[in-house]
């Protein structure tokens, strides 16, 4: 029986395992088809691919793009694309510049709150890779400003808090367009987490579909049966395919594990029915 997990993070963004460690863990947990979907970077794909060969697991190219839609931050997954597509590579470069500028602004705000050298700390913890808010959360915990990541977000980094920087990411239409041009599938990540009203959710799904989006993440790590049911109904109504991914970041989090997802409701077409069987081979040919 194939086991799909199409959403997870490595040390190339805000995950705690290297791409190779992540693939190894996924294989040990029984995942047969894995997509590594780091935030705004493709940097982990070559190492993940190499590990996937060793562990005999199917690696699907992935990325989780940061998008602004109606001033709201959303996450759009790209799956099963050509990782060498120039438009996609350029988009990743743009997002990395946005992230770098945002990190500088977050650091200035945190310094005003008495945090020492937050940018240097975040950069060091990110290991020279792209900087995310969890890297600043680590700094806040280390310096005693917060007891854990959750409170670092609640008191400093979350929306409206002293270290929050409103960011103009890239447009939804641009991201979906580039994923498509790269031969991939665009999927709305964890749609229920945005806490949209019914009417905003319908607006989003309609526009997403019109601009070429094909899937929604119906099953995601930590979601409830009610979340699955609600998203399944919307997927049917808007004729979108369904995806499943844990959004795994950290083996120390007992609530989210690779390959432990509920199965998709039978009424839905899985996004992987559209995948190119040669995807894994394409990663190795094109990235090297
Ligand atoms: P960024 O993309 O830099 O804004 O960072 C967002 C990431 O922070 C998400 O992908 C989550 O992994 C993490 N995150 C968001 N909210 C929280 C929270 N309340 N507690 C812990 N981690 C969080
Ligand atoms: Mn994350
Ligand atoms: Mn996300
Ligand atoms: Mn994610």
The sign one gets for the Cα dihedral 77, 83, 87, 88 is positive
**Banded model confidence at residue 278, pLDDT cuts 50, 70, 90:** low
| Tokens found for residue 251 | 């083996």
Among the atoms of ligand 1, which is closest to the Cα of residue 152?
20
Closest CA to 48 of 23, 30, 28: 23
The set of protein residues with a Cβ atom below 6 angstroms from ligand 1 is: 14, 39, 66, 132-134, 149-150, 153, 249
The pLDDT of residue 276: 84
The pLDDT of residue 286: 53
State the number of CA atoms in the 13 A half-sphere of 78 facing the CB: 33
Closest CA to 191 of 178, 200, 180, 182: 200
For the stretch 5-41, pLDDT in tens is 999 999 999 999 999 999 999 999 999 999 999 999 9
What pairs with residue 187 in β-bridges?
77, 215
Q: What is the mean pLDDT of residues 250-267?
A: 96
For the stretch 51-100, pLDDT in tens is 999 999 999 999 999 999 999 999 999 999 999 999 999 999 999 999 99
The pLDDT of residue 287: 54
Q: How far is the CA of 208 from the centre of ligand 3 (A)?
A: 17
Q: Please name the residue whose Cα sits nearest to atom 20 of ligand 1.
A: 150
pLDDT at residue 280 greater than cutoff 60: no
Q: Please name the residue whose Cα sits nearest to atom 11 of ligand 1.
A: 134
How many helices (H) and strands (E) the chain has is answered by 10, 9
Backbone angles phi, psi at 270, to 5 degrees: -70, 140
Q: What is the mean pLDDT of residues 175-202?
A: 98
For the stretch 104-135, pLDDT in tens is 999 999 999 999 999 999 999 999 899 999 99
Q: What is the rounded average pLDDT for all residues in the chain? A: 96
Q: Please name the residue whose Cα sits nearest to atom 14 of ligand 1.
A: 134
**Banded model confidence at residue 277, pLDDT cuts 50, 70, 90:** confident
Prediction pTM value? 0.96
Residue/partner pairs of 1-4 with CB below 8 Å, 24 or more apart: 2/32, 2/33, 3/30, 3/31, 3/32, 3/33, 3/259, 4/31, 4/32, 4/33, 4/34, 4/244, 4/245, 4/261, 4/270, 4/272
- For residue 20, how many other CB atoms are within 10 A of its CB? 18
Q: How far is the CA of 133 from the centre of ligand 1 (A)?
A: 6
* Residues 6+ away with beta carbon under 8 Å from 152: 136, 137, 140, 141, 145, 146
Burial class (CB in 10 A: 0-12, 13-18, 19+), 197: exposed
**Banded model confidence at residue 281, pLDDT cuts 50, 70, 90:** very low
Tokens 């989210």 sit at which residue? 256
242 to 41, 79, 172, 219, 268: CA distances (angstroms) = 23, 12, 19, 8, 6
pLDDT at residue 145 greater than cutoff 60: yes
């Amino acid at each position: 029986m194939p086991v799909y997990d199409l959403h997870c993070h490595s040390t190339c963004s805000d995950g705690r395992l290297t791409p190779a460690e992540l693939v190894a863990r996924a294989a040990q947990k029984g995942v047969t088809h894995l997509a590594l979907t780091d935030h705004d970077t493709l940097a982990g794909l070559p190492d993940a691919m190499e590990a996937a060969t060793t562990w005999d697991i199917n690696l699907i190219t992935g990325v989780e793009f940061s998008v602004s839609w109606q001033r709201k931050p959303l996450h759009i997954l790209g799956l099963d694309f050509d990782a060498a597509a120039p438009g996609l590579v350029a988009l990743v470069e743009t997002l990395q510049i946005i992230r770098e500028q945002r990190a500088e602004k977050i650091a200035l705000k945190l310094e005003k709150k008495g945090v020492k050298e937050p940018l240097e700390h975040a950069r060091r913890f990110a290991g020279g890779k792209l900087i995310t808010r969890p890297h600043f959360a680590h700094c806040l915990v280390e310096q005693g400003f917060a007891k854990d990541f959750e409170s670092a977000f609640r008191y400093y980094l979350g929306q409206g808090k002293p270290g929050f920087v409103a960011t103009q990411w890239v447009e939804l239409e641009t991201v979906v367009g580039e994923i498509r041009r790269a031969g991939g599938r665009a999927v709305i990540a964890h749609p229920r987490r945005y806490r949209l009203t019914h009417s905003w959710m319908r607006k989003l799904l309609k526009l997403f579909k019109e601009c070429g989006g094909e899937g929604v993440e119906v099953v995601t790590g930590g979601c409830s049966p009610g979340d699955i049911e609600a998203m399944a109904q919307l997927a049917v109504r808007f004729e979108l395919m369904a995806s499943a991914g844990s959004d795994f970041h950290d083996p120390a989090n007992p609530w989210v594990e690779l390959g432990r997802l509920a199965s998709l409701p039978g009424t839905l077409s899985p996004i992987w029915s559209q995948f190119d069987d040669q995807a894994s081979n394409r990663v190795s040919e094109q990235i090297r």
